[in-house]
Structures are given as C-alpha cells and as structure tokens.
Structure 1
Amino acid sequence: MRAMATAATGMMAQQTNVDVIANNIANANTTGFKSMRAAFQDLVYQSQVREGALTNEAGTARPVGVDIGMGVQTAGVIRLNTQGGLTATENQLDVAIDGKGFFVVNMPDGSTAYTRDGNFQMSAEGTLVTKQGYEIDPGITIPDNSTSVAISEQGIVSAYVGSSATPVELGQLSMATFINEAGMKAEGDNLLRETTASGEAVAANPGDEGVGVLRQGYLENSNVNIIQQITDLITAQRAYEMNSKAIQTADEMLSSANQVR
C-alpha cells in the first residue's frame, strides 16, 4: 500500500512548512526582515492505466487514466520582498530604504554582502558600519568632532563639524538591485548574498529610476503578518494531523487484510 509512504512525504512537507512559519514569527521584529513561504510540488505518478488506452476493438478509448501520485516534495522557500512599514527612531544613523534596493556591505574577507537593515553604527575610527561592525560601502568616515550627521534621500552623507554652520559632504551611500531578489541567499545577521539565481548586482544610487530613496531617522520593519502566520500555522498543523491519520488508516487496513483467512 502506497498510502503510508505518500502520507509520510506529506508529514515531512508540513514539517518544513512549520519550520518556515516559525522562522517568520521569530523574526517579526527583525529590522528589514522579509517573510518567507514554503512552496511544494507533487512527486512523480505511477501510471497503472494510460489515458487514451483502447477499451475494445471498436476503437473506443479511456477518457482518463489511472495515475497514482507518490506524494509531495518541497520545491523551494520563497522570500516575499514586499516593503515593510517605516518606524521613526529619531536616531540620526538609522536609515530606511523606501522602495527597492539594498545597502552594500563590505565584508572583512573582501567579499560583498547586501542588507535592508539600516540600523547603522560608528566604529572606533568613525566609519559607518552595521551592528556586526561590517563597513557600509563606500566606507564613509565621520569626523570625531562632528555635532550632527545628515543623510539625504539620495544617500549623500554630510556632517556639521565643530562650530561650523556649513555641512561637510562626506560621501554618498551606494545601493544595489537584483533582477531576482528572491534568488539571493540569506546568511544571517540580516545579510544576503548574490547568487546565480539572483543575477549580478546592479550598482545604483538612492533615488535612481527603479531604486528607493532613503529616510534618515527611520527603520524598516519586518513585513511579517502575524495574523496570517498564525492562520498558516494552524493550517499546517491540521494538514500534518490528516497525513498522520492517513498512515494510521492505511496501517489498520493492512492489519485487516493480514487477518483474512
């Protein structure tokens, strides 16, 4: 009886589904986090009778066949790159992206990562960095005697140094876009990496056509919808229970068949 193996694939699929939902709920308050959704596809079918098979010598044929499915498998986990809401923080180093694009992060090993988390800090040298201390491209250093920092919608960073009433331009934050944002690889620490699926990064400046602008003093919230996640969690739990019930029913049927004399 195939039902036991088929239902087992359904239980494993729902385990994956719950894992994805749990991660979404856990990151409901993570800055710039994008919720994910598990996608599934059916497995191969075992054909017992082909569609269109002749049923008699007169040439009549079966309108449908007898194809028994072998279950389900996880096709992928899709990142939903919709805009999260913006929250005012009144912190001059907090920057949110309002629209498409990613901040560019220079990693210690010379590679490049990308993030939507604009909760920036200053290193001991005054360089603009992420919470993990990774440098934000293109490596803007804020003078230690600066009284305030201004970041425009186009990413131009300026600072008021000492008692000067005229701001000093320090540089412009760079950004990147991707043809397939969902194809980027998540690495933790709110960082994403370029992959062959995402396509190569397209360099841009904030405010360019098709690229979002920056909002100083704001952070982008997670786009996780808690109510939807709870609903999805209940649905996954019920599906898991039904697959478990299918295995139990198949086992009982086999037991009955074994008792036939």
Structure 2
Amino acid sequence: MQALRIAATGMDAQQKRVEVVSNNIANMSTTAYSTRRAEFADLHYQQLRAPGAISSSTGLIAPSGIEMGLGVRTAAVSVNHEQGSLRQTGGDLDLAVEGRGMFEVTLPSGDPAYTRDGAFKRTGEGLIVNSEGYPLAGDITIPEDARSITINNNGEVFAYFDGQTAGQQIGTLTLTLFANEKGLEALGGNLFRETEASGAPIPGEPGIDGRGAIRQGFLEESSVDVVQQIADLIEAQRGYELNSKVISAADQMLGSTTQIR
C-alpha cells in the first residue's frame, strides 16, 4: 500500500524538523546565531485522471482530475538572518552590527568568510582576530603601546596613547552585503561562505547603501525564540505520531486483507 511509504516520508520529514529545532535550541546562547527553519514540499503525483480529461463517451470534460500524492520531502533548511537583540559588554573589541551587513575574516586557506559574530580578540602582535584566530579583513594592527582603541559607527578605528588626547586612526572596518543572504553556505563557527546562490560579496562602509552601523562594546545575541521553538517541537512531535498512526492503520488494513478467505 502506498500509505505506508507516504507516511514514512512524513515521519522522516518531521524527524528532520525536530533536528533543526534541536540545533536552534542548542544555539540559543550562541553569539549572533541565526535561526534555521525546515521547509518542505510535496512529492510526485500519480495521475489517475488528468484534469481536463474526457470523462465519458459523450466527450464531456472532467472538471477535476484524480491525482494521488506520494508524500513529502525536505525542500530546504533556510536561515533567518533577522538581527538578534544587542547586549552591552563594554569590551573594546566586542562589535555588533545594528542593521544589515557582515564582517569579513580570512581563513587559513586565504579565502574570505563572513560572520555577524563580533566577539573579536587581539593577538600578541596586535592583530584583530575572531575567536578561531582568523584575522579581520584589512589586517588592522593595534600598536603595542596603545592605551585604548575606539571604533565609531562608521567603522573607523582610533588608537589612543599615553600623553595624547586625540586618537590616531589606524584603520577602517567594512561590512559586506549579499543579494541573497539565505544562499550563503554555513561553515560552522558562526562563519559563512559565498556561493552562486548568495551572489558576490558587496563590501563597503558601515551606514552606507543599506549597511548597518557598528556598535562598539555590544554583541548580537542569538535570534532564537525559545517559546516558538518549543511550540514547533510539539507540533513536529504530534505530526510524527500521526504519521506513525497512519502506518499502523495501513498495516491493520493489510492484515485484514491477507486474512480474507
């Protein structure tokens, strides 16, 4: 019976939905984590009678067809790049993007990667890097004798030294936009990589051409809505149970058929 196979695809879909929800909840405290959502599409259809087919010898056209669906499949796991709330930390290298845009870092391979996680650190050489040690694009180096640094909303980085009241500009941060942020490939570690689906990166000055402003001393929190995730989890669990009941019902019907004498 097709019902067994159809219900099996439904159980598989709900299991994948639970896995996506589980990953969201696990990352509820991850800096700048973007919520994922499982999306589904129906499978092929058996055309027992096509819509508009002639339904009788009189040549009348059937107003509707007979199309039997064959189940469901996972169409995508999309990323919601909606901004999370900003949390004040006071760290001079804690940066948040208020609006659109991503920081660019350089991977060990030399390829660029992109992130909204602004929890940057300073190496012994004064280079600004992320938590994995990947340098921020622009290779901004903080002088060893700098007393403090400030980064304004436009991404300009100033170093302050003892005995001086005015800051010395040592670099400028850029933010990168993409035509389709959902098309970025997730690498893990809060990093993304461009793909053909995302379009080419468009770097530029913060606050210009739709890019957000940089907020020093803040970090973006995870955008996970825990209450919504729990509701989605319950819904997925109930969907899984209903599909399992369909399998039980189909099995009972098959059992009744085999017992007919």
Q: Same fold (TM over 0.5)?
A: yes
- State how far apart, in whole Å, the 1-side matches of 2:55 and 2:230 are: 50
- State how far apart, in whole Å, the 2-side matches of 1:55 and 1:11 are: 36
Q: Are residue 157 (structure 1) and residue 157 (structure 2) matched?
A: yes
Tell me how far 1:109 sits from its aligned partner: 1.2
User: Which residue matches 1:99?
Assistant: 99
- State how far apart, in whole Å, the 2-side matches of 1:106 and 1:219 are: 21
Alignment of 1:101-140 (within 5 A): 101-140=101-140
Alignment of 1:59-98 (within 5 A): 59-98=59-98
- State how far apart, in whole Å, the 2-side matches of 1:250 and 1:50 are: 26
Contact 1:143 1:161 in 2 (8 A): no
1:40 partner amino acid: F
Tell me how far 1:187 sits from its aligned partner: 0.5
Alignment of 1:1-261 (within 5 A): 1-261=1-261
1:66 partner amino acid: I
Tell me how far 1:30 sits from its aligned partner: 0.8
The CA deviation string for residues 194-247 of structure 1, in whole angstroms up to 9 with x for no partner, is 000000001111111200010000001111111100000000000011111111
Runs of 5+ in structure 1 lacking a partner?
none
Identity of aligned residues (%): 46
Tell me how far 1:50 sits from its aligned partner: 2.2
Contact 1:39 1:74 in 2 (8 A): yes
- State how far apart, in whole Å, the 2-side matches of 1:177 and 1:55 are: 55
Tell me how far 1:52 sits from its aligned partner: 2.4
1:161 partner amino acid: F
Tell me how far 1:57 sits from its aligned partner: 2.9
SS of the counterpart of 1:136?
A: coil
The CA deviation string for residues 127-183 of structure 1, in whole angstroms up to 9 with x for no partner, is 110011110010111112211110000000111123322211110012210000000
- State how far apart, in whole Å, the 1-side matches of 2:257 and 2:64 are: 29
How many residues are paired up?
A: 261
- State how far apart, in whole Å, the 2-side matches of 1:54 and 1:114 are: 57
Runs of 5+ in structure 2 lacking a partner?
none
2:170 partner amino acid: L
Q: Structure 1 length as normaliser, TM-score?
A: 0.98
Contact 1:121 1:129 in 2 (8 A): yes
SS of the counterpart of 1:149?
A: strand
- State how far apart, in whole Å, the 1-side matches of 2:77 and 2:230 are: 18
- State how far apart, in whole Å, the 2-side matches of 1:234 and 1:114 are: 34
Give runs of ≥4 in structure 1 deviating > 3 Å: none
SS of the counterpart of 1:77?
A: strand
SS of the counterpart of 1:96?
A: strand
The CA deviation string for residues 66-95 of structure 1, in whole angstroms up to 9 with x for no partner, is 111000001111111111110100111101
RMSD: 0.9
Q: Structure 2 length as normaliser, TM-score?
A: 0.98
Tell me how far 1:59 sits from its aligned partner: 2.5
Contact 1:96 1:219 in 2 (8 A): yes
